[in-house]
Each structure stands twice: as structure tokens, then as C-alpha cells.
Amino acid sequence: MIYESIRQTVLDAILEAVEKGLINGTSGNIAMRDPEDRDIVAITPSGIEYAGMTAGDIAVVRMKEDGTNEWIDGPYKPSSELPMHCLVMRKRPEVNATVHTHSMYATICAMGENPELRPITPPQCEFTPVGIVSFTMPGSNDVAQKVADTLGDKGLVCLIKNHGMFSCGKSMKQAMHATIYTEEMAETTVIAKTLGTYEPMPKEAEEAMQALIAADQAV
Ligand SMILES: [Zn+2]
């Protein structure tokens, strides 16, 4: 099997996301760039149940210089959100892993006039600020462009209105952490607002935490 290592990484991540309740049925998709062949991406297939999937079922795509993405291996066609995953990897050379989910609380928070998501606990500060993308048709080049623009040079997560969230990282571990902590942030936000006890971390504390996290990552 070609590109077995990145296909296995994508498979492990999607099964973990299903187990954690971040992904239901065939919603959501995950991609991983090859560490050597930087234009090669493994991505979950379109419309196939993740339970019982094997590494060989994960699609392999080449990001071509003309801006198109060519499906080169795997029995099932790549996720319809391929443009979103590939555009973020094209624009951000340090990004090697991308995760898109319709997880419940992030989706609830991705509504309303001002869907700002603020950190509730210190570990969540690694992934803020969380951007917001207005509703755009799923699978379109338009939503890919909006997500890439909203993430900008440094963003790790954004919410997509009436759709879900998109996370990225230099490793699959970081992209999955971004997804898990953003869903946690959204869930605690929704519950605290319901109880009337919503109190996110102060901006100064969030920035101090981010400085600590950045220093640790520099070591
Ligand atoms: Zn979606």
C-alpha cells in the first residue's frame, strides 16, 4: 500500500473522533500531509461509514501546481470537503493535519449574531482566538477560501455557521487537540450560559497562558 503511514494516522484519528462523539455517521473528515512528499495528502473518503474502515480505504490525493487536487489512490473518492483541507495546507506550509467536524456544541456556538468562543480553562488558550466563517455551501471552493482566510497565518480553529468547525495543526495530535478542546470550550460555554454562570477567562489571563504555551513550544 502506498503512503500507508499517513493513511493509518488518518484512520486512527477518525476512529478516535467517532469514539469521542465528535463525528456521527459519515459527517466530518480528516486529512494528513505526507512528511516527505509534501504535495501528497491522505483524506477520509466521501460518504462511507467510518466504523470498520481500513487504512487502504483512505483516499490519497496529489495537490497539483495548477491548484487542482488529483485523486491518485484508494477505492473511494475523497471527501467532498477536499478543497478546504488542501487549501489550508497549501497556504500554511507548517500545517500537516486538518480536522473538520459537525460536533454538537461547536455547531450550537456557530450561530447567532456574535458567536464568539472564549476560553473557559487554561489548556483551551492554545487554540484561541477561534474565528467564525459565515454559512457557505459545503464542499465549495468558496467555503475553502473563507476558512483559509479566517484562519489566516496563525489560527488553529474556526467555526462555520450552521455547519461545524475546522481545525488544523502541525501534527495530527495538535489538530485533534484543537478539535477536542474547542468542543469542550463550546460545551462548557453553552452549559454555563444556560445556567447563567458564564464567565470566560479574562483576556490578560488568556494572553499570559498563550505566552507560557509559546515558550514551552519553543524549548
Ligand atoms: Zn461538514
Q: Identify whether the C-beta of residue 169 lies closer than 8 Å to the C-beta of residue 87.
A: no
Q: Identify whether the C-beta of residue 131 lies closer than 8 Å to the C-beta of residue 151.
A: yes
Whole-number Å distance, alpha carbon 202 to ligand 1 midpoint, is 32
Whole-number Å distance, alpha carbon 125 to ligand 1 midpoint, is 25
Domains for the chain: give ranges and CATH numbers: 4-113+129-176 (3.40.225.10)
Overall pTM > 0.75: yes
Give 218's pLDDT tier (boundaries 50, 70, 90): low
pLDDT (tens digit per residue) in 28-78: 999 999 999 999 999 999 988 898 899 999 999 999 999 999 999 999 999
Question: What is the spatial distance between Cα 211 and Cα 38, in angstroms, rounded to a whole number?
Answer: 30
Whole-number Å distance, alpha carbon 208 to ligand 1 midpoint, is 33
pLDDT (tens digit per residue) in 110-162: 987 777 899 999 999 999 999 999 999 999 999 999 999 999 999 999 999 99
Give 216's pLDDT tier (boundaries 50, 70, 90): confident
How many other C-beta atoms lie within 10 A of the C-beta of residue 219?
Answer: 4
Tell me the three cell numbers of residue 160. Answer: 462555520
pLDDT (tens digit per residue) in 90-102: 999 999 999 999 9
Whole-number Å distance, alpha carbon 186 to ligand 1 midpoint, is 17
Whole-number Å distance, alpha carbon 175 to ligand 1 midpoint, is 16
Residue 190 has pLDDT above 60, yes or no: yes
Whole-number Å distance, alpha carbon 218 to ligand 1 midpoint, is 33
95: which DSSP letter? -
Whole-number Å distance, alpha carbon 59 to ligand 1 midpoint, is 17
Higher-confidence position of 175 and 26: 175
